[in-house]
Every structure is written in C-alpha cells, then in structure tokens.
C-alpha cells in the first residue's frame, strides 16, 4: 500500500516571502499522480496543483510550483510571494494511475502567513 | 458550475439515529468517493464507486452504507449513529482521460455531530 508522509505539521512564512512544504511518498508503482490540496478554515478541499509521474517537467500554477524528484519519491510544494489568503492546511496526496484507485493523503501541514 | 454538491452542510444526530448524506455531481464523472476527516487529521476513504451499480469499501467502511443507482448520485447512509462518527464528510468525484483526468474534485463537506 502507498503511504504519504508530510513531516512538517506546521510552517510559517512572512508575507511576500517564499516557503516550501515537504512531502515524501512510498510506492512500488511507476505511473501515478501526485497532488497538493489546500484546505482553508472553511474546510473546503481546493486543488492547488497536480503532477503526473511520467512527466519530468515540474508542474507550475502561478505562484505555486512543485519539485518532483521521482527517484527520491519526493514532491515538495513551493509557494512564492506568499499572501494572507494562502494560510491553510495543505495536504499532499497520491493516486495510482489505474483509474479506480483512491487518493492517499498525508497528515497535512498547517501554513501560517505572518503579516 | 455546480460540480460536486453535498447536503446537508450541518447536522446534529442523536446516538442511534440514522441519516443519509446526499451527494450529486454534474460533471458526468464515473468515479465517486466518500471521505471523512476527523479533527486535525487527513482524509480517510469510507466507500467509493467506479460507476453506477458498483461500489466498494475503503479504509473505514464500518457503520456506513452506500448505493449508486445513477452516475450523478452517491448517497452515504449512516446507520445507528455513534459519537465516533462525528466528523466532516466529503464527497468527491473524478474521471479518467483528458487534461484533468484522475484529478479528484471535492464537495464542500458536511459537518456531522453525534451527541
């Protein structure tokens, strides 16, 4: 079974600075998907970014980018120019490429933005 | 764009009562899921469905039942509610193929308290 580990329960960053959230995973599969979800206090789960394992290029979405290291099984999220609205829980998640597989979540990292 | 719609948003149940959480999606997704999130934790899969008429257990199915009679709807039934079922429940859906295939989209969550 796959596991996802987020080793930073809490992180904080000054507004406008850059922060990196860590995620590692364990799998024996070669093809899969990785995601970062944001969960603000409203508890809604919002997709931030996704990465297909077969793509070597790191995904980017505006101020959000990932550092995907397949051999090391690492998938970190970098948030540039942090904004107050970025404050939330961030969950890393893994999904097999089989199509009917569930998402496996990490335990989350709570990000605080310091004005 | 409705996406994934859950009702009710909030509910208080007494121990031993039963209820159904409704979930509907209008994206023609074949996969649907129910997750629960306990305070301070990540999401755990209760049940999932790969298409109408097909359901399967996830990590924490005890105390719940599901059905999938149509592509759009995936209700979750709680029988004999217990305090351990106090949680936030998320319905989600996904499809395969396309630019966003294998991405799971979440509803806004249903907060359930059992007293």
DSSP structure string for B20-31: EEEEEESS--SE
Q: Ramachandran region of residue B80, left (φ > 0), alpha (ψ -120 to 50) or beta?
A: left
| Dihedral Cα B71, B76, B79, B83, nearest 10 deg | 170
Q: What percent of chain A has pLDDT over 70?
A: 97
pLDDT of residue B2: 67
B111 vs A contacts (CB less than 8 Å): 43
Q: A50: which chain B residues are within 8 Å (Cβ-Cβ)? A: 100, 103
Q: Between residues 61 and 90 of chain A, which touch chain B (CB distance below 8 Å)?
A: none
- In which element (H, E) is residue B64 found? strand B64-66
**Closest chain A CA to residue B91:** A45
* CB within 8 Å: A44 and B108: yes
Name residues of chain B where pLDDT drops below 70. Answer: 1-2, 97-101
With a pLDDT cut of 70, the percent of chain B lying above it is 93
Report the distance separating Cα B13 and Cα A83, nearest Å. Answer: 38
Cβ distance of A102 and B88 shorter than 8 Å: no
Predicted confidence at residue A2, as pLDDT, reads 80
Report the mean per-residue pLDDT for chain B.
91
């Amino acid at each position: 079974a796959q596991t996802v580990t987020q080793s930073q329960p809490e992180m904080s960053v000054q507004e406008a600075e850059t922060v990196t959230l860590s995620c590692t995973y364990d799998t024996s599969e070669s093809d899969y998907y990785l995601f970062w979800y944001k969960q603000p206090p409203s508890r809604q789960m919002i997709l931030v970014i996704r990465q297909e394992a077969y793509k070597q290029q790191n995904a980017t979405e505006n101020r959000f980018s990932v550092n995907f290291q397949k051999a090391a099984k690492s998938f970190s999220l970098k948030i540039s120019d942090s904004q107050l609205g970025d404050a939330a829980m961030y969950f890393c998640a893994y999904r097999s490429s089989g199509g009917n597989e569930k998402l496996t979540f990490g335990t989350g990292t709570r990000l605080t933005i310091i004005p | 764009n409705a996406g994934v719609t859950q009702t009710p948003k909030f509910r208080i149940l007494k121990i031993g009562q039963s209820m159904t959480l409704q979930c509907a999606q209008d994206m023609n997704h074949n996969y649907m899921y129910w997750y629960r999130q306990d305070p301070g934790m990540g999401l755990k899969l209760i049940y999932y469905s790969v298409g109408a008429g097909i359901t399967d257990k996830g990590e924490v199915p005890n105390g719940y039942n599901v059905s999938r009679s149509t592509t759009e709807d995936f209700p979750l039934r709680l029988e004999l509610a217990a305090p351990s079922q106090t949680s936030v429940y998320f319905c989600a859906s996904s499809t395969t193929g396309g630019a966003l295939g294998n991405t799971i989209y979440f509803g806004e969550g249903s907060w359930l308290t059992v007293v």
